Structure 1
C-alpha cells in the first residue's frame, strides 16, 4: 500500500510538472509532448533526459501479442545502436496496467531498454494512443520523425536509424 501511494504521488507530481491539457495530434517535424512516466522504483522519466538521442517511444500492453512479439527485436536494435552516433534508446511505456503485472512481463521479456509505467494513462492520452503497439520515433531535438501504429517494421527502423545516427 505504501509503495502504491508513493507511485501515485510520483504520477501526480509528474502531471503537475508537465500539465494535463489535451494535446493536438503530433505532426511530423513538430515537437512531441513531454511524457509523464516513472520507473519501477518511482523515478520520474522525461524525454528531456534523452535530449540529443533518437528515441523510440513504444506504447505496449502485457496482454498484446504483437507488443510482446516485437520486444526482442526492438531490444536487438536498441543494443546495436544505443552507442552509435548521438545515441538511440527505446522507452517501453506500458499503457496503464498494474505495476506488478508490468514488472512480471518485463522480467519475462528480459529487455535491456527502460520499461516505464503510465498507470494513470497521462502520456497515453497525451499522445492519443488508441491501441497497442503504437510507437513514436523522435529525433534528438524532440521532434516527431514518424508515428507507427502496429508492430514496428524492424528493417525500416534500422534503415531510418542509419540516416539519423
Structure 2
C-alpha cells in the first residue's frame, strides 16, 4: 500500500507543465464519426491511448468503464475516451465488443501526438484541463482511485 502511494506521488511530480495545446488531435470514431479534441473544449479530458494487443490496456477497460459511468457518460464536465493510434477501425470495434468497452473509442493519427509528448507505451493516459493544456501524463495502467484523484486536481 505504501509503495502505491509513493508511486502516485511520483506520478504527480511528473505533472506536465508544458503549454502544449491538445486540441489539434483529429479523431475517427468506431462508427465513422469524425471529431477533434477541440470538441471537448471547457471540459477535462481523460484520454487513454491503447493498442488492442496490449494486456494492460485490456485490464484497464473495467476501470475506464466505471469512470465513464461515474462522470455521466461524457455528459458532465469530464470526458473519458480511448484512442488507438496503431490499429484499424475494424480492429478497434472488435476490441470494444470483446472487452465490453462502454466509453467512446477513436482512432487518432499517431503523428499528431507529438505536441502531447508522443506515445511510447500503452496504456498512456493524458489528462487535459479545461483550457486544452495537457497537465498530467501517466504511462501504464492506473487504478480507479488514482484516476479520480488526478481528475479532482484539475477541477
Could you say whether these structures have the same fold, taking a TM-score greater than 0.5 normalized by the shorter chain as the test?
yes
Equivalent in the alignment of 1:129: 119
Q: Is the 8 A contact 2:127 2:151 kept in 1?
A: no
TM-score calculated relative to the size of structure 1: 0.73
The 1:41/1:83 distance shift into structure 2, 3 A limit, reads closer
1:130 and 1:124 map into 2 onto residues whose CA distance is: 10
Aligned residues: 139
* 1:110-141 Cα shifts (integer Å, max 9, x gaps): 222210013x5233455311111111001111
Q: Which structure 2 residue ranges, 5 or more long, are not aligned? A: 1-14
Equivalent in the alignment of 1:106: 96
1:159 and 1:77 map into 2 onto residues whose CA distance is: 12
The 1:100/1:86 distance shift into structure 2, 3 A limit, reads closer
1:41 and 1:83 map into 2 onto residues whose CA distance is: 17
Equivalent in the alignment of 1:66: 56
* Deviation of the 1:49 alpha carbon: 0.6
Q: Is the 8 A contact 2:47 2:125 kept in 1?
A: yes
CA RMSD, 1 decimal: 2.4
1:158 and 1:70 map into 2 onto residues whose CA distance is: 14
Q: Pick from 15, 28, 32: which aligns with 2:21?
A: 32
Q: Which structure 1 residue ranges, 5 or more long, are not aligned? A: 1-25
Q: Is the 8 A contact 1:40 1:117 kept in 2?
A: yes
TM-score calculated relative to the size of structure 2: 0.77
* 1:27-78 Cα shifts (integer Å, max 9, x gaps): 4252433212101233221111111111111110110000010011111012
1:135 and 1:50 map into 2 onto residues whose CA distance is: 16
